[in-house]
Chain A
Amino acid sequence: MYQYVGLIVLFPLIGLFINGFFGRKIKNETLVGMIGSAAVGLSFLVAAGIFVEMLGMPEDGRSHVVTLFTWIAAGSFKVSAAYQIDQLSILMTLVVTGVGFLIHVYSIGYMHGDRGFWRFFTYLNLFIFAMLNLVLADNYLLMFLGWEGVGLCSYLLIGFWYDKKFPGTGITWTGDAANKAFWVNRIGDFAFMIGMFLIFREFGSLTFREVMGGAETLAVGNNTMFWITLLLFIGATGKSAQIPLFIWLPDAMAGPTPVSALIHAATMVTAGVYMVARNSALYALAPTTMMIVAIVGALTAIMAASIGIAQNDIKKVLAYSTVSQLGYMFLALGVGAFTAGIFHVMTHAFFKACLFLGSGSVIHAMHEEQDIRHMGGLKKVMPKTYWTFLISSFAIAGFPPLSGFFSKDEILWKAFSDGSLVLWIIGASAALMTAFYMFRMVTLTFEGEPRWAKDKHPHESPATMTIPLIVLAGLAILGGFVGIPAVLGGGNAIEHWLHPVFAQAHHTMALSEHSSHTTEYLMMGISVVIAVTGFWFGRRMFLADPEADKRIAAKTGFLYRLLSNKYYVDEIYNGSVVRPLVRTSESFLYRVFDVRIIDGAVNGLAKTTGWVSAMMRYVQTGVVQNYAALVVLGLVVVLGLLIFS
């Protein structure tokens, strides 16, 4: 089946062409939606076929590269359009196409009646195409094509309702939010590119295999590796919304909700995690970068979780929760737990997609209302949405035996055993906050008495929307079973599956099992206690008083304002970078340097020439007597000089 890998990428491309060129003519929404969904569904089937075939192969024989054509060649530089199928890329492909397919189906219901229906499915297919290139590429440059490609789709979809207002810091329109996303990502991409240049200079190639092969002989602590890995990681902070480049993700909620689910929660934002995991062998050589990755991840996790506590927009809460969960993934990578990071990518894709789609279902039912303070009591009117949302909330909060428990616990355990106690404490505190804000949101949205206006008539969403929710909730329950740790008697199938991919990195880092099972049980117990505590407080507080926020705000004052204003990061960036740059460009570079200095010099030269010429003109009077007089004068001067010198 390997040779058919091209099909995985081709189907979304076909879908995108059909809907892109003819979608406007196809008046039937369902047909457009089905073409878009089928394209992704077919990709999923091909990927599943390859996956099944891989299962039957020996562990070392599962990795293959399929080259399509030479993309760019100049001198010693050569890059091909080639796909690498291995345990990691096929897993990501399955998640992307699987979750992607469900979200496509959901969108048929959610986008019903939108004038840009066909455009929406075109962009979604383009996104899947780009994302598949990102995860399947066998080299950095093709990965970068996908990397920027998903950024483009994100841009197009955030600004999908281009004439809709979207308030924010320095933002008026959805298009401004789209720009912000693209620009911030580009800053990351800038670092990614420099990283690629360094890789090419160091290894003379941009294919993963050759680079990893070249890295085998390098010593740990290599300075170039530090820079390469750091630059790539800065790229990841852009795409995966980590400190300091996380600011775009919350504003990305300007797009339609399925977009938030697919791109800004389940798949695209995990690209940075995938990229670091793909380069695990390089990161293993750079312990300093690893430390930075772990610290940034942990800090992002807790910072975003704390912001999540004080948000009232259902999508904003979920957005910050995504930033926070991505922080966990980087924490895992940073302590060398690459499998745990990827495991969390997968489980997070399930429950976060479900949560976002659920929020979309709620927003749909509430006629575009997104403020959870104006909701409440929805569990009676939309039970399917409620139950799936609740299950996924338990999953993200880390309740056993749901998927989030296994993946998050694995990360916290590794943060403790291979990292440090401090990292664990930060991670555990963030987990407490997560459980709290999730159940604050669940309670305010679904429980208690309705707080919405009388003219609103919420209703359960159609089957195209609820079926994907149910499937995703099922995955949120079951998805963790592939990674049950050995200590609980599980096989940790995902660890074994991915083992060959990370073997080189593990070999370099030489991690050892050094903690006892007792400690692991203990930590696991603490995790459960944390989740339950957060749940209990979140639920009790807001069930008793839906306006508990006000009391908290009154008590904590500045701290609460700090959280609800997202630590004023946007304001700080605007004031320190954006505005000065625009102002300098306008009032100095353009108005002064270009217009006054350069053009002034040019025009000055022209004027001087003109003036000199005008003066000279007086000599040329055209009167013969004057010329004769001057000739005589000249003669006298010359003769005088000859005589007296």
Chain B
Amino acid sequence: MLEIRWHSRAGQGAVTGAKGLADVISTTGKHVQAFAFYGSAKRGAAMTAYNRVDDEMVLNHEKYMKPDYVFVIDPSLTYTADITANHKDDTIYIITTHLDRDELISEAPKLKGKTVYTVDCITIAQETIGRAIPNTPMLGAFMKVSKMYDIEFFKENMKRVLEKLPPKIVDANMLAIQRAYDEVK
């Protein structure tokens, strides 16, 4: 069982990202689950979304999770949200920030000794999509860190997931995914 927790602000696309990831993984025959805690669901409020992936049907519906990966797609949440909740020794963090890893850890000491990757999803999204929607770049970074799928395979499938968007936006998302894949450290 692979488990992922997303930290986001409502409106930044974590739910779409989690469902998109689930959709792509499902095409390879694995079983998936994607859900979120909405709370009061106000735009800008801190929220979490979740993925489960397994070879068997996912029957577990508890919200409690000890994640294998934590995605932080809003830079400020590293400081204000409990992103290390239910940490286990091998939890991997992929964090949106303009800082490099050492700078980030010195500013957020709770990440000390943990496996941390950094990528600036916000800037990437602004420069490619034209809006600060950092969900798809995070998935590009995840593909690099996890080596889950070949990036071309992943992009082809994400194109299908995003097919209802205008073609220009889909292309911009593909650029964003590739840039985050290349830039995550």
Decide whether A and B assemble into one complex.
no
